[in-house]
Chain A
């Protein structure tokens, strides 16, 4: 858990679902929850029941009969989706107003609902597997903002006021400075806290990343879009809907035109997107009535696009190609540049050897030299890259060695027949990809079936008509090209998936590392501490925590500047690192504070280790600019005791010990439950009883 989130949580002011919502959450968090109990809980809240039935019916894309009861809706949506939906709705019900006067709660929910309805609609048309979950994810995708407004009404109000109209990414930076956590992180934490699916949290965190425009060259291969794409797109549509609907308003117009990117993202025709947007409007009005929220009075997307066209404004939204990466604020349109591209066929499928592509490699296997010569001759005249083999065994070895794209083989051959050759080739990796044409004078149905069973792709009759032969080879090339395109698309998709995975991992790693010292950060420390705390209860090993604080660090910053302060932090981090035991975990908690987690330690070993750290830091001078001094650290050590209920208590104990060390004159180690020994400037710990 993000430590800052924990602080938010401890205020008790985080948004929380209604009583019914909470009950549903706790009920369904167990594997073997009572189904009847769930239905009963939902029925107890008529408004919630109505909303759940509504979403079950509006997610109905397969023409199923409408559901009329909560039980039917639960069957239709599945428990997982019902759980999320119930949570979303009960949050709206109970968090409509708050103390933050510049945070418009009503507007917040209107925006969220518009996003959710847009995402729901997009999820249905793109056949996203679970539209109801997409709805909830979108509804709660900015819930971190609501949370910050609830917990820090005044401070967040001020931030909102000072940053009106700022993009979410900029707002997040301000939030992070002010609260040590931004609304994306809060959203993710809340989602985890409420037990929402992991992919929701991922969407929340990935939204914090600027979509990289250089990724545009990735081929969109169709298939269901990612939840993240849906949420981003739905958000964009909602922003348009909540805008001015004044065609003269340049900002809004830019927003409207940016819908093009949404179309690209979802691989959707612009006209189709506009009509989907127009379908979202009445759907949103429906939802607004049901949830009792005001919704924007959006106009017709198609009319606006037509009006822009009429006025000769950039009209690319209407069934033309897209220009990627154009700044829409500048109304510079060069559609003619793309017309050429449009006019050109996608792939020159109807020519035998297409421009710029290497000619297909064809292997001809035929034991009759005259037939072999004839076949090869016809094919060479069409500029194919032709190889020949005069026996089936030669044919097999050449096919496997040179991997031609097409193999044309005689059927009747001594040693191995053409059918057996095909069957053997099909068993090999390379051969399974070849297009196999059999040349035969036999027309027996049984034999034809046998040949196809053996993996033959096509036949040419013998004696062959050269034009028929070439037409069959042309068909083979088309089949090969289609398959190669499909394979390229699949590779691109895999690359996208991999890149997203890498990005997510990098993001996670970055989220757990302190940028200045490269030590694990507070977030990691708390996560690890939680793990170790639980581990300790499982296997009974001891757990000690040492908090290390640099003495008089403020003076360094004030007198020598932040540069020097950073150098001191880095130096201390380095020396702490080199003097901690291998099994210990050193993290930077923030500011000039570090923490050491020692698994299996006793109070004595932890204190001894702490003393070693203290001495090491004292002994080492830091040199930076005009600064040539050694700094000292104070350390508070605590060991987990049975009385402690959570690891927070352990931290608290270490913190108190640290406070004693500071009070006792700094540059010393204190252990929890032990009074500092005034007689010694050094360590003075005795284990408490």
Chain B
């Protein structure tokens, strides 16, 4: 599975002006999911729905963690979102979570942690919109 989010990929969905032109959803990842379903569209929507339900909780956790500067709480959420988002093609978001996770693991109390965290929370809103569009299209 390609998780490197190559920006030259075809059929780019939503475009995010805040992210230097990276796609919010990687078409290849979604293609892989479709293929896995073996023409079974329900499987794709089931996975996406599962992601959306789980991710909302995690993002709320992340948000709360950032407010209270609870590194661990942010780390748990970022770690989980890093993998699960990649499986629905939210490659840019996954990369952002990975960055956030490494900021949390670092001992420095960096400004970057807060900035990256806010960027991730904001980006999730776009991921949500894009994925709901995918669900609607199925």
Contact = CB atoms under 8 A, between A and B. Distances in A.
Interface string A349-380: 00000000000000000001111011001100
A466 B50 contact: no
A463 interface: yes
B36 interface: yes
A370 B84 contact: yes
Interface in A50-78: none
Contacts of B38: 381
Contacts of B79: 412, 441
B76 A369 contact: no
B1 A463 contact: yes
Contacts of A378: 36
Contacts of A465: 1
A369 B50 contact: yes
A462 interface: yes
B50 A463 contact: no
Given A412-B79, A463-B94, A370 B36 contact: no
B54 interface: yes
Contacts of A462: 83
A464 B84 CA distance: 10
Contacts of A371: 83-84, 87
B43 A463 contact: no
B86 A412 contact: no
A169 B82 CA distance: 78
A441 B1 contact: no
B46 interface: yes
B79 to A, nearest CB: 6
A370 B1 contact: no
Nearest to B35: A466
Contact-residue bracket for chain A: 10 to 19
Interface in B45-80: 46-47, 50-51, 53-54, 76, 79-80
A301 B43 CA distance: 69
Contacts of A369: 50, 53-54
B87 A463 contact: yes
B83 A373 contact: no
Contacts of B88: 370
Contacts of B47: 370, 373-374
Contacts of A441: 79, 82-83
Contact of A412 (B54, B76, B87, B94): B76
B36 A466 contact: yes
Nearest to B29: A463
A368 B84 contact: yes
Nearest to A468: B1
B58 to A, nearest CB: 9
A381 B36 CA distance: 9
Given A368-B54, A369-B54, A465-B1, A374 B87 contact: yes
Contact of B3 (A373, A377, A463, A466): A463
A391 B60 CA distance: 21
Contacts of B82: 441, 463
A370 B94 contact: no
Contacts of A374: 47, 87
A462 B50 CA distance: 17
Contacts of B3: 463
From A462, A464, A465, residue with most partner B Cβ within 10 Å: A462
Contact of A377 (B36, B54, B76): B36
Nearest to B98: A441
Contacts of B1: 463-466
Interface string B1-40: 1010000000000000000000000000000100010100
A443 to B, nearest CB: 11
A370 B76 contact: no
A463 B54 contact: no
Contacts of B43: 377
A462 B79 CA distance: 10
A369 B50 CA distance: 7
From B3, B38, B84, B94, residue with most partner A Cβ within 10 Å: B84
Nearest to B105: A444
B102 to A, nearest CB: 11
Nearest to B37: A377
B127 to A, nearest CB: 13
B26 to A, nearest CB: 11
A371 B94 CA distance: 14
Interface in A602-624: none
Nearest to B52: A370
Given A463-B1, A463-B86, A465-B1, A412 B80 contact: yes
A498 B46 CA distance: 57
B95 to A, nearest CB: 11
A368 B86 contact: no
Contacts of A412: 76, 79-80
Nearest to B38: A381
A418 to B, nearest CB: 13
Interface string A440-465: 01000000000000000000001111
A92 to B, nearest CB: 78
Interface in B98-126: none
A377 B87 CA distance: 13
14 contacts: A368-B80, A368-B83, A369-B53, A369-B54, A370-B51, A370-B84, A371-B84, A373-B50, A377-B43, A381-B38, A441-B79, A462-B83, A463-B83, A465-B1
7 nearest interchain CB pairs? A463-B86, A370-B50, A462-B83, A370-B51, A463-B83, A465-B1, A441-B83
Given A370-B47, A371-B84, A463-B84, 4 more contacts: A368-B83, A371-B87, A441-B82, A441-B83
Interface of A: 368-371, 373-374, 377-378, 381, 412, 441, 462-466
